[in-house]
Amino acid sequence: MSRNVRVVGVPMDLGADRRGVDMGPSAIRYAGLAAAVEETDRECIDAGDLNVPRPETRASKPRPEDGRAKYLSETREVCASLADVVGDTLAAGEFPLVLGGDHSIAIGTVNGAARAADVGVVWFDAHGDFNTPSTSPSGNVHGMSLAALLGVGEFADTSWAAAGVDPENVALVGIRDLDPEERVAVRESPATVYTMSDVDERGLPAVVEDALAIAGDGTDGVHVSLDMDFLDPNEAPGVGTPVRGGATYREAHAAMERVADLGDDLRTMEVVEVNPILDSLNGTSELAVELVASALGKRILR
């Protein structure tokens, strides 16, 4: 990939059920993000953080118009702003690298990426994020983000959420924790799902190559969404919803090295769900920086 990288922080924790993930963008920057990006021979331009409402200043209960989804109106505001920033960054010929914050921000990133192009999505995550307000056990929007941007359920025909992405160009990688109704929705979706059982049988590099091919088939580019709970908690303890049995350190790097092979077909990327409060010595943020560098083309011998 030849474009300069514009970093956009979204200190969002309204979509999660644990405080601290709003500090993720700062922790990732502190872990040396700018230097790591510039080591890949690209300029790193930090656009700062979007303004995100604080939970303390908003209603603690869902608004009637939001159904059972917590802070859905506020999430809509943030994601609409993020979509504008991502769209403008792409129009300027730069690569948007979005730092979360919880995974609800993907709604904004993908909507911005899809404004002037057809995009596919590869979703690295322990979870499906395929709930809707009526199926979610928690009401947390970070568990609905993929369903939202695909227009599933109550998110159908929502101009702020549904991004027009063809679900046949969506691949989920590393899945190992689904809610009961969410499991049914994922099975019925045209999206392709690679569980950790698939990874065990085939190896992660082969799975990721297939996922990228699915996302790129007939599209103008690929969005990569990296939730740090894709990795095993032994590797990335600083996440809000850890699930045992995830990717190892080297598997995650191998996955991002395959992402780098996309070159300029990698349209956008986000890294989400880093929670420094739950971390050890900022290790999860440091790993996030390493994985971004691998996705941008850093290799052992060059």
Q: Please compute the mean of the pLDDT values over residues 45-60 and round it to a whole number.
A: 83
Catalytic entry in 273, 279, 286, 290: 273
103 labelled catalytic? yes
Q: Is 229 annotated as a binding residue?
A: yes
Catalytic entry in 66, 74, 129, 257: 129
At 213, is the pLDDT very low, low, confident or very high (cuts 50, 70, 90)?
Answer: very high
Catalytic entry in 125, 182, 251, 270: 125
At 68, is the pLDDT very low, low, confident or very high (cuts 50, 70, 90)?
Answer: confident
CA-derived radius of gyration, the chain: 17
166 labelled catalytic? no
Catalytic entry in 13, 66, 74, 103: 103
Q: What pLDDT does 285 receive?
A: 98
- For 260-283, how does the pLDDT look when each residue is reduced to its tens digit (9 = 90+)? 999 999 999 999 999 999 999 999
User: Using CA atoms, how far apart are residues 8 and 272, in angstroms rounded to an integer?
Assistant: 12
At 17, is the pLDDT very low, low, confident or very high (cuts 50, 70, 90)?
Answer: confident
Q: Which helix (H) or strand (E) holds 225?
A: strand 221-227
Residue 96, CA distances (Å) to 45, 108, 140, 256, 268 in order: 10, 12, 26, 16, 5
Q: Percentage of the chain with pLDDT > 70?
A: 95
Q: What is the mean pLDDT of the chain?
A: 95
Spatial neighbors of 192 by CB under 8 A, at least 6 apart, are: 170, 171, 172, 210, 211, 214
Q: Is 227 annotated as a binding residue?
A: yes
In the chain, count H helices and then E strands.
Answer: 10, 8
Check whether 58 has a pLDDT greater than 70. Answer: no
Helical spans, DSSP H, in 31-142 = 33-38, 72-91, 106-113
Q: What pLDDT does 49 receive?
A: 98
Check whether 146 has a pLDDT greater than 60. Answer: yes
User: Using CA atoms, how far apart are residues 49 and 152, in angstroms rounded to an integer?
Assistant: 29
129 labelled catalytic? yes
Q: Is 166 annotated as a binding residue?
A: no
Catalytic entry in 229, 235, 270, 286: 229
Q: Please compute the mean of the pLDDT values over residues 129-137 and round it to a whole number.
A: 95
Catalytic entry in 142, 182, 251, 253: 142
| 209 HSE (CA, 13 A, CB side) | 6
Q: What pLDDT does 148 receive?
A: 97
Which of 251, 234, 242, 240 minimizes the C-alpha distance to 291? 251
User: Using CA atoms, how far apart are residues 153 and 170, in angstroms rounded to an integer?
Assistant: 17
Check whether 28 has a pLDDT greater than 60. Answer: yes
127 labelled catalytic? yes
Spatial neighbors of 94 by CB under 8 A, at least 6 apart, are: 3, 4, 5, 6, 45
Q: Is 125 annotated as a binding residue?
A: yes
Top CATH class, 5-295: alpha beta
